[in-house]
Amino acid sequence: MRSVVDVCTRREWLVLDGEPGVGKTALLRAAHAHVRDGHDFAVLDAAALDVVELLERVASALDTGSDVAVLHAHVLDSDGLSALSELLQTVSLDSPSDEPWVALSMHLSHGVPDTHPILRLFPKTIVVPPLRHHLEDVPELVAHLLEKVTDGKVSMSVAASNQLMRLSWRGNVAHLRLILDEIGRRRRSGVIEPQDLPPECRATTRRNLTQLEALERDAS
């Protein structure tokens, strides 16, 4: 978060890289709200728009001085990425103080070569780590998400949080949110104990991997 805030403050164009579900969109929105509160921010999803509409909306946003984030940019084919690159290259800036902030979120290991010209427009890449690499954050994430899901009427015991920290969370924070949404539909008050967790969260007895072990596993 500190790194993204710093880049946003400098108005330095950013690629935010990471697996699906790690929270890239939430991170971009939070950083922008912190640094550029009140400034328009067009958040456009390349996975939900065809290329023509995406380019039109990016161009329109930049023409009005809005900052822009293009989510899931890795789903664009080579022609789509090249067209987006050409569009961003033609952005005319009246002065440095008026320069828009542009960010892309993508999973670079899925479809975007390191040599693609669009990456030359973005001097900074920040990688958001998968949840399994920072499991110590699970209790704080759980408390934050449960507050949203249950309006603060449900909490989680230390034992239940510890159980969640034993999981690999291949779906990352998005997966954790789905689990808590499911719990919130069934539980409207009280404290969640390990036996209250969904079966998929209880069917493990493995120890936590160290970060090095997790990195080695992911590379295999």
Q: Are residues 30 and 9 in the same domain?
A: yes
Which residues in the chain show pLDDT less than 70? Answer: 92-98, 109-114, 203-220
Pick from 71, 104, 128: which residue ends a domain?
128
What is the count of structural domains for the chain? 2
Any residues with CB less than 8 A from the CB of 29 and at least 6 apart, and which? 41, 43
- Token reading at 208: 């936590």
For 2-44, how does the pLDDT look when each residue is reduced to its tens digit (9 = 90+)? 999 999 999 999 999 999 999 999 999 999 999 998 899 999 9
Q: Are residues 122 and 139 in the same domain?
A: no
Which neighbouring-strand residues pair with 41? Answer: 67
Structural domain range at position 107? 2-128
Rounded CA gap, 84 and 78, in Å?
10
Q: Is residue 217 part of a domain?
A: no
CATH number, domain containing residue 189: 1.10.8.60
Q: Is residue 218 part of a domain?
A: no
Pick from 100, 128, 156: which residue ends a domain?
128
Q: Are residues 170 and 86 in the same domain?
A: no
Q: Are residues 118 and 157 in the same domain?
A: no
Rounded CA gap, 162 and 144, in Å?
16
Q: Are residues 92 and 197 in the same domain?
A: no
